[in-house]
Amino acid sequence: MQILVISDIHANFTALDAVLADAGQVDAVWCLGDLVGYGPDPEVCVERIRQLPNTVCLLGNHDAAVLGKLDQEAFNHEANISVSWTRDQLSPASLGFLQGLRTRVETQNVTLSHGSPRNPIWEYLLDINTVLSNFSFFKTPICIVGHTHIPIIYTHNGNGTVDWSIPQPGVLTPIQGRAILNPGSVGQPRDRNPMAAYAIYHSDENSWEARRVEYDIASVQKRISAAGLPFRHAARLMDGW
Ligand code: ZN
C-alpha cells in the first residue's frame, strides 16, 4: 500500500492542493493534525480533508485551540489572532469534524500522533534526549508525528542511542528497526525550504519517501493579508522558516 502522510496544513489550501496533485493515486491518507491556524483557508482545507477517502486524521494543537479545548494563553499573540479568526470561518460541519478527531491512533504497525507519542498535543520532538525517551511511549515498530514542521527520520539503535537523518526528497529510505518519522509541514515548512513537504509510506516494503512540491506562495500571502491575519504568517512562507 502507498499511504500519503501529511501534517500541519495550517489552512494553506494552495499547498494542500499541490501536495494532493503531486502525490497522485494513493491507497490511504494519514493526516497528523493542525489542519488550521496561521493560514487563510481553514474551511476549504477541512472540507478537502473530510472528502478524502480512506483517511485517518488526528487533532493538532491549533485544531484543539480553535475548538476551545486548549488555553489560548499557551499561544503567542499572533497565533491567537489566527485561532480566533479561524473559529469564525469554520462551518458547523467542519467544527464537528474537528471535534471528532482523536489525538493518537494505533494500527498494528504504526502509531500516529501530532506532537509526540508521550504528549500528542504539545510535545515537540526536537532533541535527541526527548526523542529517545519517547520510544518508551509506543509499542509499534514505527511512530509518525508532525508538529515541528521539520522532515526527519529518527532510528532507535537498540543500545539506548538514536540516529537521525534528513530524508532526501524522492529517495526511498528503508525503515530499519524502530523509528519515529516526520513528514514535515504541508502549509508552513520550517526547515528553510519553502516547498510544501509530505511523505509516502510504502507499507509493503516498509520504506519512507519524503517529497517536496512547489506551490504559489504569493497567492497565499495575498489572502493572508486580505484576511487581516498577522503579516509574519505570510512572510515566513517565503523563507520556509
Ligand atoms: Zn503545526
The whole-number average pLDDT for the span 153-177 is: 95
CATH number at residue 76: 3.60.21.10
**CA 204: distance to chain centroid?**
23
Neighbours of ion ligand 1 (CB under 5 A): 8, 34
CA of 149 to the centre of ligand 1 (A): 6
Verdict on whether the full-model pTM lies above 0.75: yes
Q: How many domains does the chain have?
A: 1
Grid cell in block for residue 133: 525517551
pLDDT in tens, 85-136: 999 999 999 999 999 999 999 987 999 999 999 999 999 999 999 999 999 9
User: What's the whole-number average pLDDT of the chain?
Assistant: 96
Which of 74-78, 138-142, 171-175 is predicted with the least confidence, judged by mean pLDDT? 74-78
pLDDT for the residue numbered 71: 77
pLDDT for the residue numbered 156: 97
Measured CA to CA, the distance from residue 225 to residue 217 in angstroms comes to 13
pLDDT for the residue numbered 70: 85
pLDDT for the residue numbered 74: 76
CA of 57 to the centre of ligand 1 (A): 14
CA of 159 to the centre of ligand 1 (A): 32
Place 147 in a pLDDT band, splitting at 50, 70 and 90.
Answer: very high
pLDDT for the residue numbered 108: 78
pLDDT in tens, 21-68: 999 999 999 999 999 999 999 999 999 999 999 999 999 999 999 999
CA of 10 to the centre of ligand 1 (A): 7
> Which residue, chain included where needed, has cell 472540507?
47
Measured CA to CA, the distance from residue 139 to residue 133 in angstroms comes to 13
Domain range spanning residue 216?
2-239
Grid cell in block for residue 11: 489552512
**CA 158: distance to chain centroid?**
27
